[in-house]
Chains A and B, each alone.
Chain A
Amino acid sequence: MSAGPRLQIEVDGKQFDPGAVPLFDGFRLTVEPSSVVALVGPSGVGKSTLLRMVGGIDQTFTGTVLVDDVPAASAPPAGFVFQDARLLPWLTASDNIRAVRPETTEAEAAALLMRVGLAGFEHYYPHELSGGMQRRVALARAFSVNPRLLLLDEPFVSLDRTLVAEMEQVLLTLIDTSQPTALLVTHLPEDAAALADRAVVLAGRPVRVVADYRFETSPGHRSRVEREHIANQIAAATSGVAA
């Protein structure tokens, strides 16, 4: 019932400056329902732009991005998680969740906060929460909007390793229980190895897929050795392009 949507991405063209080399030119990517796909690549390659196209935020491109056969801009809003927590500082944790989807009741917001390990923090303002806690509120907010499609834009950037491990655990639990389709933009192969079923390595201008790995084991059950192996595999693909 709550399986995630299929994504069909066909970006024929996108460029920021007329005359410059286009950022996208005939880019194709299909994402199966309920799969967690990591988009790995150097900064500036267009990962975040791609994510914004899927989220319906960026509509200035030619081509189609379909979410379950519906154009992204008219599809139900995705659960977007930004690089920074991007909470509204004048609203409490609970009100931040309800601001983006007023149908959410206070009880539902509290339940969501409990799922990300923040039971009892409903009425805290963002500045009263630590950086890691703010990210978890942002995750709960994204999940409240759309538990079927999560779009994560470098969600662990500037968090220390312990907090990253904590966030990953929270995410894995959410993904495990709700089976959403998720796109994870990251420049770190480790993030992909910890969370993704599939890693798509992007490079170049115009951007293209230079490697596409599908992993056998589910991310929650990977041993440390397996994770390192996957990370190395992705890292090799990334550096292979640079060389």
Chain B
Amino acid sequence: MLFPSRLFPTPIEVGINLVNLAVNGKLIPDLGKTLYRATVAFLVAMTLGTAIGIALGRSRTADRLFSTWIVVGLNVPAIVVAIVLYIWLGLTEFALILAVVLNKLPLVIATIREGVRSFDPAYDELGRAFRMPFARRLRLVFLPQLMPFVLAAARTGLSLIWKIVLVFEVLGSDGGVGFRISVFFQFFDIKGILAYTTAFILVVFVFEYLALRPLERRILRWRQGRTA
């Protein structure tokens, strides 16, 4: 044997371990915990980020006030935010989720702000010419223009969240995929690590193909077959 099999398990061994961990181990509750944290952080960051992004895209003053902070937020290492929050707020669920939100927020804001800036003033004129009330303009003119950017923010944001949630769970939490992987790490249990990773990837695939893609197709239906 060229490689010691304990460190390089075969896919079949990993698969068996995966089933075993799901049935007898803590895989399901761990995945549940991680998904819960990721979902809450995702929803909060998207909502807040979209609102702030629209504000910064529309108001020059607001943008001048906050754009430096966006740059800081985009570039400050994720781990710093998490450690500081853990120190201030303790190793709590709230601190973890808040750290994830703070890491993702600047990215959403920056993307949405670009989206708002790219709005076509010609459509504003259209709205004025036909005296379209604000609510209708929001629904029929602004949101459709913003949607591709919201989706882009959701996609990049989601991949970022998957990554940092796990890191923060390693750093300090009482369960979840990241926490379990750090436990496996203590024992050099590569089979467990790969099994958890596989399960995690499967969840990401389900999310991608059953939620994100159909949503994207529905929202961007008008662009299908568009050549220009």
- A→B interface (CB under 8 Å): 55-57, 77-78, 80, 82, 84, 86, 88-91, 99-102, 125, 127-128, 145
* Total A-B Cβ pairs within 8 A: 51
Q: Quick one: closest A residue to B145, CB to CB?
A: A90
Decide yes or no whether B136 CB sits under 8 A from chain A.
yes
In angstroms, Cα B226 to Cα A128, docked, is 8
Known: A88-B140, A127-B228. A145 touches B123 (CB 8 A): no
15 A-B contact pairs sorted by A residue (CB < 8 Å): A57-B129, A77-B131, A80-B129, A82-B122, A82-B126, A84-B122, A86-B123, A86-B126, A88-B140, A88-B144, A90-B144, A100-B132, A127-B222, A127-B228, A145-B130
Bitwise interface map of B from 52 to 75 toward A, beta carbon under 8 Å scored 1, else 0: 000000000000000000000000
Q: When the two chains form their complex, are residues A86 and B132 in contact, meaning their CB atoms are under 8 A apart?
A: no
Query: Is B125 touching A57 in the complex (CB atoms < 8 A)?
Result: yes
B220 (CB) vs chain A CBs: closest residue? A90
Whether the Cβ atoms of B125 and A88 lie closer than 8 Å is no
How does the 8 Å CB contact mask read for B96-113 relative to A, with 1 for contact and 0 for none?
Answer: 000000000000000000
Residues of chain A contacted by B131 (CB below 8 angstroms): 56, 77
Q: Are the C-beta atoms of A128 and B144 separated by less than 8 Å?
A: no
Using known A-B contacts A89-B222, A91-B222, A99-B136, determine if residue A57 contacts B128 with beta carbons closer than 8 Å.
yes
- Is B5's beta carbon under 8 Å from chain A? no
Report the count of interface residues on B (CB-CB < 8 A).
Answer: 19
**Which residue of the partner chain B has the closest CB to A84?**
B122
Is residue B227 within 8 Å, beta carbon to beta carbon, of the partner chain? yes
Decide if B141 is an interface residue (CB 8 Å cutoff).
Answer: yes
The residues of B with any CB-CB pair to A shorter than 8 Å are 122-123, 125-126, 128-132, 136, 140-141, 144, 222-223, 225-228
A-B pairs, 9 with minimum CB distance: A100-B130, A90-B222, A80-B129, A90-B144, A127-B226, A77-B131, A57-B128, A99-B140, A77-B130
Dominant SS at the B interface? helix
CB distance from A234 to the nearest CB of B (A): 27
B122, B222, B226: the one within 8 Å of A86 (CB)? B122
Asked whether, in the complex, the Cβ of A55 is within 8 Å of the Cβ of B136, the reply is no
The CA-CA distance from A82 to B140 in the complex, in Å, is 19
Given the complex of chains A and B, what is the CA–CA distance between A127 and B225 in angstroms?
8
| Chain B residues near A77 (CB-CB < 8 A) | 129-131
- Cα distance A125–B221 in the bound complex, in angstroms: 10
Known: A57-B129, A77-B130, A101-B130. A91 touches B122 (CB 8 A): no
Please give, as numbers and ranges, the residues of chain A lying within 8 Å of B228 by CB-CB distance.
127
Contact of B225 among A82, A89, A128 (CB under 8 A): A128
Cβ distance A183 to chain B, nearest Cβ, rounded Å: 13
Most buried by B among A89, A90, A100: A90
Contacts of A57 in B (CB 8 A): 125, 128-129
Min distance, Cβ A83 to any Cβ of chain B, angstroms: 9
Residues of A within 8 A of B225 (CB): 127-128
Which B residues touch A145, using CB under 8 A? Answer: 130
* A57 CA / B130 CA spacing, docked (Å): 9
Q: Which residue of B lies closest to A125 (CB)?
A: B222
| Residues B126 and A91 in contact, CB atoms below 8 Å apart | no
User: A84 vs B226: C-alpha distance in the bound complex, in angstroms?
Assistant: 18
Docked pose: A55 CA to B130 CA in angstroms = 9
CB distance from A38 to the nearest CB of B (A): 20
CA distance A100 to B126 in the complex (A): 9
Kindly state the separation between the CA atoms of A101 and B132 in the bound complex, as whole angstroms.
8
Complex interface: chain B residues within 8 A of A80 (CB): 129-130
| Shortest Cβ gap from A185 to chain B (Å) | 14
Q: Check if B129 sits within 8 Å of A55, measured CB to CB.
A: yes
CB distance from B222 to the nearest CB of A (A): 4
Give the CA-CA distance A162 to B125 in the complex, in Å: 29
Question: Smallest distance from the beta carbon of B123 to chain A beta carbons, Å?
Answer: 7
State the CA gap A100–B141 with chains docked (Å): 11
Distance A127 CA – B126 CA, assembled complex (angstroms): 19
Contacts of B144 in A (CB 8 A): 88, 90
Q: Which of A84, A102, A125 contacts B136, CB < 8 Å?
A: A102
CB distance from B118 to the nearest CB of A (A): 14
Alpha-carbon gap, A125 to B226, bound state (A):
10
Chain B residues, Cβ within 8 Å of A91 = 140, 222
